[in-house]
Structure 1
Amino acid sequence: MTEIVDLNAGTVFVGGGGEGYASPQSLLLKYANRHGLIAGATGTGKTVTLQTLAESFSRAGVPVFMADVKGDLAGIAKPGDPNGKLHEPFQKRALQIGVELQYEGFPVTFWDIWGERGHPVRTTPSEMGPLLLSRLMGLSDVQEGVLNIAFRVADEQGLALLDMKDLQSMLVWIGENAKDLSLKYGNVSTASVGAIQRALMVLENEGGDRLFGEPALELSDIMRLDASGKGMVNILSAEKLMNAPRLYATFLLWLMSELFEQLPEVGDPDKPRIAFFFDEAHLLFDDAPPALIDKIEQVARLIRSKGVSLWFISQNPADLPDAVLGQLGNRVQHALRAFTAKDQKALRMAAQNYRPNPAFDTAEAIQAVGTGEAVTSLLEAKGVPGIVQRTLVRPPSAQLGPIADAERAAMNAASAMALKYGKTLDRESAAEILAKRAETAAQESAKAGAKGGDEDLWSMDREYSRARRYDPGIQIPDAPKPRSSSARSSSTDSIVEAFGKSFARQLGTKSGQALVRGVLGSLFRGK
């Protein structure tokens, strides 16, 4: 009779099998922070493995964060259906591998950058930093340098960069003061500033501006336990996010960096503080600059001592840099297909990453395992890699697949996070401070213009035009009439009065704001 495995024994139970398969394969929680890999071709069972591992971590009191790329991980919130079509095959497999199939749901919090299928996830440009922002916008090295200058000047002048408009306003100020800044920080090209602004506009059009704002996500809110002691399973809705792969990768990298920077050193705890799953992990490294890849490698090496367990999910281990792959001591390898010479080479390389088993050829086993089966190697006592084994992955305890939109909406409404993150905050920050500075300068010019002199009047107009670049809502007062002591003054009067009336009619419309920034701004600068 097959021995029944206790799922609450302080381990992560992966699976087992009967004849021809491994004995029960479990990962000791104290070695889970050595990170892990789940790999395999499409349709071989990676998502089910991800869910079963997340269940084990949650059951052990370890919070989990994972991205739901296909929309089918939400079912972890509900118990499996004993009357469903999957019950019979799941029951059969459970008996074969020696685990009692008990259906249960797990505590779930849904997150969504767009705030549509979960609570809004926000950070600030200041927290993300110029390196990740440059990756997000695909900037060149020169443009990244200018962005670094913008962040440096903002820090020195106490200008908080909290949302997209703050960053845009800061870049406007950098462009206007490029000549003075170049003397201290190096060349600041207005062309580079313009390129960054265009990249921000593209990002904004794609919805990426939703990522920036307050209240920013606090790590403590994804590291919670429920009343029964289960770890919170945080699910990031990524179906829409996958259409912007650069945004998806940058957000995950930012979150990993925040964990690294904020969590204290704990050495080797009895269990991880949080388990973090990177689905479609190859997106983290595609087209990434060397400096960013170095940062990821550094975090992967050092975050272990912070008590964080990282799991990378990808179709092929070759998708990950060797320096990262070398940090992944726990591996669940589903089937790889080798239809081409390149595929065969990748298969051989994948097989070489395992401690060989004299009972079978690892490369052949990786090709031969079916859906729901895997070749596994988990860390054993003293952190030694286990001998590679063929393993049947245990069936999940929660529902496999998505849940109804109404159920998701009800869970979001009942969540404690709804009150905290539901409403966007807009504190005084760089955009407002710079707008006030420009408005103050414009008012001073207006006072000077009231005393007389065409040059003072045109100076006032220039200052208000500049102020509106930071805040289009700034109200422009009626221009004082200049002295009529010359024909030129008389001509100037008619121009200013005409445009002053146009201001009054147009200020309330977007087209009017564009007119002010465009035609008049160019006219006044031309003077």
Structure 2
Amino acid sequence: MTSAPPPSEPASQPGSEPPDAVREIAAGYAFTGPALDLGAVLLGADAYPRAQVRIPLGVLNRHGLVAGATGTGKTKTLQLIAEQLSAQGVPVFLADIKGDVSGISVPGTPNDRITGRAAEVGQSWTPRGCPAEFYALGGQGTGIPVRATVTSFGPLLLAKVLELNETQEASLGLVFHYADRSGLELYDLKDLTAVISFLTSPEGKAELKGVGGLSAATAGVILRSLTVLDNEGAGAFFGEPEFDTAELLRTAADGRGVVSVLELPAVQNRPRLFSTFLMWLLADLYQELPEVGDLDRPKLVFFFDEAHLLFKGASTSFLESITQTVRLIRSKGVGIFFVTQTPKDVPADVLAQLGNRVQHALRAFTPDDAKALKATVSTFPRSGYDLTEVLTRLGTGEAVVTVLSEKGAPTPVAATRLRAPRSLMGPVGEPALRAAVEASPLAARYRDAIDRESAYEKLTARPAAAPAAGPESVSRSERSERPEQPTREREREREGPGGMLGSLLSSPALKSFARSAGTQLGREITRSLFGTSRRLR
């Protein structure tokens, strides 16, 4: 590629004919098929509206990385890409950690900064919002509650949340194996606690003679970790009705993709749980979706924010599972964008699969910063830019971009001044957010927690059962608030089906059970990807 003009050469004005270096870059982004518009090529301080930087829609299932220091504009880049995907009929998933992504649901407000940016990059800016659904983990927030059963979450993911070592992780896998084999449903944390307590009792120890044992010391570590998790309020994330990840694939009546926004401010003090829960969503999607190969547009684009939390302290088997999922989910029509500060936050095996890159500014204030900057530069193709210089001088809303072309080849590296999102760049406010959630057809389906008969009740009902309540982490206050519903359900079961068929078929508990049973094979696949089946065989 032609080198950028030397400093002594006068810079061309943005409205004039671009210099040769800019035209050569722009030629690499002149795609014939549908594409997302990112912005205009940047050279020095000037942006060139005639030289547009774009991403072909058909390569977004080849995954991507959005990186940059805090305050450089990563969230606005996600918003810009998400609203264009929605307009193209592609559903999007976004995690809202700072609470400022909800504005994607309403039109933006024009101001001098937006109109100025639009003129600089050749954007015809008009305000427009996107169809959106708002979710919250376990209902800790305004959004529609998102829950998972402990069974479907799986031992490997749960071990990551509990920060267990590999020996403890293997023991937890043994507990899951026993529960699966014995018909002991693990819906919430009290179920898992009950099974562990039983397996360390005299009666329970005999159950594991054929497959090894569960030491009291290891069980104690796991139970204490579950206690901490439950005391932090994370127990609300596990239970029923379990969230159906197919909800993330919805489109609106006008054909636009629905943007699913997961509200996360309430779980900032539990970042490991948040990142692992996002991995569960991806694993569940992988189980449920059929193989489709390469499509003209993805079925879903999933933005995995704060990605470094997922990889930090991860075991070898966990990293292998992530790598395998990222590699294989592409053929299911799902694209993943990892969002973090530097590429070194992502393991090399995963980074090698991310074909689309949007790198915002990096700072080099410390020796560690300088090392991270050097590592970042080394991950880009060769270009005419001095990337070490460019990456430290980029302003907010500017980034270095390289993507895959329609033929699958990397495009030229392009310093880019990004377009302004058309939706509101900020939160919509609590009243508007609450109204949107209450108006959603999904609210009634997921709002109320369900406590069906499961491992806890079955073990408690055994005449000679060991203490099934487990440690104080069983959340007694929570159980005292919820016993009426399962009691009434059991009474209705004893009364027989006469006159009750319609209500039973519409019951959230029955629907959740049907999905749980219907996806048993899917859960076994999850066991192979995020479980301990390799150790147990």
User: Which interval holds the TM-score relative to the shorter structure?
Assistant: 0.7 to 0.9
Q: How far did residue 95 of structure 1 move?
A: 2.0
Contact 1:181 1:188 in 2 (8 A): no
Q: How far did residue 11 of structure 1 move?
A: 1.5
2:340 paired residue among 314, 317, 325: 314
Match of 2:55 in 1: 27
2:118 paired residue among 90, 94, 97: 94
2:215 paired residue among 173, 180, 189: 189
Q: How far did residue 152 of structure 1 move?
A: 1.1
2:405 paired residue among 367, 380, 385: 380
Q: Partners in 2 of 1:47 and 1:108 — Cα distance?
A: 17
Q: How far did residue 225 of structure 1 move?
A: 0.5
Within 5 A, what are the aligned runs for 1:376-455?
376-438=401-463
Map Cα deviations across residues 5-43 of structure 1 (whole Å, 9 max, x no partner): 99x973121111476446111111110111111111111
Greater Cα shift, 202-211 or 333-342: 333-342
Residue 273 (str. 1) matches residue 299 (str. 2): yes
Residue 301 (str. 1) matches residue 345 (str. 2): no
Map Cα deviations across residues 33-60 of structure 1 (whole Å, 9 max, x no partner): 1111111111111111111011111111
Within 5 A, what are the aligned runs for 1:118-517?
118-176=143-201, 177-358=203-384, 360-438=385-463, 466=467
Q: Partners in 2 of 1:210 and 1:182 — Cα distance?
A: 30
Residue 77 (str. 1) matches residue 105 (str. 2): yes
Q: Partners in 2 of 1:31 and 1:187 — Cα distance?
A: 48
CA RMSD of aligned residues (A): 2.4
Larger Rg: 1
Match of 2:77 in 1: 49
Q: Partners in 2 of 1:241 and 1:111 — Cα distance?
A: 13
User: What is the TM-score with the length of structure 2 in the denominator?
Assistant: 0.79
Contact 1:30 1:269 in 2 (8 A): yes
Change (3 A) 1:122 1:426: same
Residue 39 (str. 1) matches residue 63 (str. 2): no
Match of 1:113 in 2: 137
Greater Cα shift, 407-416 or 253-262: 253-262
Greater Cα shift, 465-474 or 145-154: 465-474
Q: Secondary structure at the match of 1:183?
A: coil
Q: How far did residue 107 of structure 1 move?
A: 1.0
Change (3 A) 1:467 1:365: closer
Contact 1:62 1:274 in 2 (8 A): yes
Match of 1:489 in 2: none
Q: Secondary structure at the match of 2:226?
A: helix
Q: Secondary structure at the match of 2:174?
A: helix
Q: How far did residue 143 of structure 1 move?
A: 2.3
Change (3 A) 1:293 1:18: closer
Q: Secondary structure at the match of 1:431?
A: helix
1:60 paired residue among 88, 97, 108: 88
Q: How far did residue 356 of structure 1 move?
A: 2.4
Q: Secondary structure at the match of 1:423?
A: coil
Q: Secondary structure at the match of 1:221?
A: helix
Match of 1:519 in 2: none
Q: Secondary structure at the match of 2:154?
A: helix
Q: How far did residue 280 of structure 1 move?
A: 1.1
Contact 2:69 2:362 in 1 (8 A): yes
Q: How far did residue 409 of structure 1 move?
A: 0.6
User: What is the TM-score with the length of structure 1 in the denominator?
Assistant: 0.80
Moved segments of 4+, more than 3 Å: 17-22, 465-474
Q: Partners in 1 of 2:407 and 2:216 — Cα distance?
A: 57
How many matched pairs?
444
Contact 1:67 1:236 in 2 (8 A): yes
Change (3 A) 1:187 1:367: same
Contact 1:17 1:96 in 2 (8 A): no
Q: Partners in 2 of 1:431 and 1:124 — Cα distance?
A: 14
Unaligned runs of 5+ in 2: 1-14, 18-28, 484-537
Contact 2:107 2:423 in 1 (8 A): yes
Change (3 A) 1:166 1:100: same
Q: Secondary structure at the match of 1:371?
A: coil
Name the structure, 1 or 2, with higher relative contact order (CA <8 Å, separation 6+): 2
Q: Partners in 2 of 1:81 and 1:21 — Cα distance?
A: 23
Contact 1:30 1:271 in 2 (8 A): yes
Unaligned runs of 5+ in 1: 442-462, 475-527
Q: How far did residue 345 of structure 1 move?
A: 2.6
Q: Secondary structure at the match of 1:335?
A: coil
Q: Partners in 1 of 2:438 and 2:406 — Cα distance?
A: 44
Map Cα deviations across residues 321-346 of structure 1 (whole Å, 9 max, x no partner): 11111111111111111123332232
Q: Partners in 1 of 2:94 and 2:42 — Cα distance?
A: 31
% same residue: 43
Map Cα deviations across residues 100-150 of structure 1 (whole Å, 9 max, x no partner): 101001111111114122011100111011111111111233322222221
Map Cα deviations across residues 203-242 of structure 1 (whole Å, 9 max, x no partner): 0011111111111010111111111111111111111212
Contact 2:191 2:454 in 1 (8 A): yes
Q: How far did residue 182 of structure 1 move?
A: 4.3
